[in-house]
C-alpha cells in the first residue's frame, strides 16, 4: 500500500525528558510494527515549549504558552497533535476549539486501555490538578484515593526532576515514588495509573502493576497515523477511479 507522509505535531517540553522518551518510543514502536525504510516514517514536528509545570492552582497565564504552542503546530499544517503531558488534557476540549488539527484525547485512550486490560480498580499517581479534576475518574472504575500528603510529595519530585535539581539523588526520588505506588497496590489497587509523564519516565523500568500513559499516548499516535494514512489512500483510490485512467 502506498504510504502517504503524515505530519504529526507533538507539543512537548513539559517536561523535556518525557518528550524525549515519547519521541524515541514512537519510532521504536514503528520499527517493531514494520517500516520499509526511512521514507516510510511519518513527519514529526516537535514543539518543545518553555511552559510552567501545571501544579497547584492553574491560571490563564500558565495556560497561555500551551495555547501558543498548539497554534504554532497548527499553523505548520500538522494532521493531528499529541500533547506529552497529562495535566494539560484537563483543558483539551477548550484548547481544541482554537485550532484546526485534532488533539489526541488521552483521557479516552486511557479509558480504552483500562477496559481492554479488564482493570476495575486503580490509583492515579499525578499532579493535584489531574487527580482533583478527575481526569482519570471513570464511572465504571473504582479508585483507591491517594492522600494529599502523597500528592504534595509527588508534585515536589516532579518539579525538581524537570528542573534537574537533586539529580545525584534521582534513584532515591524514584524509590520514593515506588514506595507510594506500592502502598496503594497493597491497599487494593490492581494497578497504579502513571498520570504524569515525569512519573512515567521515572518508573519506566520499575516492575510493578502499572499503566504507563506515555505508552498509551505512543500507541494512540501510531493508530492516528495509520487511520489518517488509510483515509488518504481511500480518497486517492476514489479519486482515481472516478476520473478514469485517461483523465
For 139-198, write each residue's pLDDT tens digit: 999 999 999 999 999 998 888 887 776 666 667 688 899 999 999 999 999 999 999 999
Q: List Cα–Cα distances, 104 to 79, 94, 108, 197, 224, in angstroms.
A: 11, 13, 9, 15, 8
The answer on pLDDT for 232 being more than 80 is no
Lowest-confidence pick of 33-47, 72-86, 129-143:
33-47
- Taken in order 97, 106, 134, 200, the sign of the CA dihedral is negative
Measured CA to CA, the distance from residue 68 to residue 4 in angstroms comes to 28
Cα(70)–Cα(81) distance, rounded to whole angstroms?
Answer: 8
Predicted confidence band at 1 (pLDDT cuts at 50, 70, 90)?
very low
The model carries a pTM of 0.90
Backbone angles phi, psi at 82, to 5 degrees: -110, 125
| Bridge partner residues of 46 (DSSP) | 10
Residue with cell 484525547: 105
Provide mean pLDDT across the span 232-240.
Answer: 67
Is residue 239 predicted with pLDDT exceeding 70?
A: no
- What average pLDDT does this structure show over 124-145? 95
192-218 exposure pattern, b = at least 16 Cβ within 10 A, e = fewer:
bbbbbbbbbbbbeeeeeebbbbbbbbb
Confidence of residue 43 (pLDDT cuts 50, 70, 90): very high
CB of 48 closer than 8 Å to CB of 39 = no
Phi/psi of residue 3, nearest 5 degrees: -105, 110
Residue reference for cell 494512540: 220
- d(CA 102, CA 209) in angstroms, rounded, equals 31
Amino acid at each position: 500500500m502506498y504510504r502517504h507522509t503524515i505530519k504529526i505535531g507533538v507539543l512537548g517540553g513539559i517536561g523535556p525528558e518525557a518528550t524525549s522518551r515519547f519521541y524515541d518510543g514512537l519510532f521504536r514502536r514503528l520499527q517493531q510494527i514494520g517500516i520499509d525504510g526511512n521514507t516510510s516514517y511519518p513527519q514529526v514536528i516537535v514543539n518543545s515549549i518553555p511552559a510552567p509545570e501545571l501544579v497547584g492552582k492553574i491560571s490563564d497565564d500558565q495556560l497561555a504558552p500551551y495555547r501558543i504552542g498548539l497554534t504554532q503546530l497548527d499553523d505548520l499544517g500538522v494532521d493531528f497533535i499529541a500533547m506529552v503531558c497529562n495535566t494539560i488534557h484537563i483543558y483539551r476540549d477548550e484548547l481544541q476549539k482554537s485550532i484546526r488539527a485534532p488533539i489526541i484525547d488521552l483521557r479516552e485512550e486511557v479509558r480504552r486501555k483500562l477496559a481492554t486490560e479488564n482493570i476495575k480498580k486503580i490509583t492515579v499517581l499525578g499532579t493535584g490538578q489531574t487527580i482533583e479534576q478527575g481526569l482519570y475518574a471513570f464511572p465504571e472504575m473504582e479508585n483507591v484515593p491517594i492522600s494529599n500528603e502523597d500528592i504534595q510529595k509527588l508534585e515536589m519530585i516532579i518539579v525538581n526532576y524537570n528542573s534537574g535539581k537533586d539529580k545525584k539523588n534521582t534513584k532515591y526520588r524514584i524509590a520514593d515514588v515506588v514506595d507510594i505506588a506500592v502502598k496503594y497496590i497493597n491497599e487494593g489497587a490492581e494497578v497504579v495509573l502513571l498520570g504524569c509523564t515525569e512519573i512515567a519516565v521515572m518508573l519506566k523500568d520499575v516492575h510493578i502493576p502499572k499503566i504507563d500513559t506515555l505508552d498509551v499516548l505512543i500507541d494512540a499516535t501510531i493508530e492516528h497515523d495509520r487511520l489518517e494514512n488509510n483515509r488518504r489512500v481511500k480518497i486517492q483510490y476514489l479519486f482515481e477511479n472516478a476520473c478514469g485512467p485517461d483523465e
